[in-house]
Amino acid sequence: MNRIYDVTLPLHNALPVWPGDPISEISRAASIEAGEKINLSRINASLHWGTHIDAPYHLNAEGWTIDQIPVEILIGAAKVVEIPGTAKITADHLRGKNLKGVERVLFKTRNSQFWNEELLHFHRDFTAFSTDAAHFLLENGCRLIGIDYLSIDLFEAEDLPVHKILYARNVVAIEGLDLRKVPAGDYQLLCLPLKIPGGDGAPAKVLLHTVT
C-alpha cells in the first residue's frame, strides 16, 4: 500500500536551535480570547530553524540562493539510507549502498532519537559526514543530501568542510529531517521551501511517498 511520510519537524518554541543562532520563537500577536477580532501569530526565527534547506549560498557566495535552486532538484526519486551506530559517516559506510547515479540521498542515523520529547535539547554528539563521504557522494552524482539533525558537518568541524565541498558544486542539503518512522528504501521526495529572494536557507515542508 502506498504511504506518504511527513518528515517535517513541527515548529514550536522548545525545538533546539544551533548554538549561537538567533533565538527562534512563535508568539501570539492577537487573540480572540483576549477580546480581539482575530487570532494572529508571529514568527521570529532563523531561516535554518527546524526542517530546512541550506542553500549553497549559505557558505558559497557564488552558490545558489534558496530562490535559485531548480525545483527539479527538490522533487523526484530519492533513497533513504540507514547508517546506525556511528558518529561519523565515511565513504566506507556508503560503499555497497547502490548510490551510483542516485541524485537525492537522505540519511537516517542514530540522530533520529534526538527528536523524541525526552531528548529534545541540542546534542553536540550528533552524527554527520566526513569529507571523504562528501567526495564519494559527489563522485556518484548526488545533487541533494538530507540528514536527520541540524548539520551535515560534525559539531567540532568549525571550518565546515563538508558544507564547503558540497556547496562549491551547488549540492543542496536538507537538515533537520524527522525520519523516525521511515524505513530505508526508495521514495519520491517532495521538498517545498519558502521562496525567499536571496535567502541562504528556508524552512521546508518535506514529504516522502513510497514507491511501488
Catalytic residue numbers, as ranges: 58
Query: Quick one: cell of 47?
Result: 531561516
Q: What is the DSSP letter of 163?
A: H
What CA–CA distance (Å, rounded) separates 7 from 205?
A: 8
Q: Which residue has the cell 514568527?
A: 43
Q: In terms of DSSP H, where are the helices of the chain? A: 71-74, 91-94, 131-139, 161-167
Query: Quick one: cell of 161?
Result: 568542510
What CA–CA distance (Å, rounded) separates 113 from 177?
A: 12
What CA–CA distance (Å, rounded) separates 143 from 73?
A: 7
Nearest 5°: the CA angle 13, 4, 51 is: 30
First to last CA, the chain: 8
Q: Strands 88-89, 172-175: parallel, antiparallel or unpaired by DSSP?
A: unpaired
Query: Quick one: cell of 123?
Result: 546534542
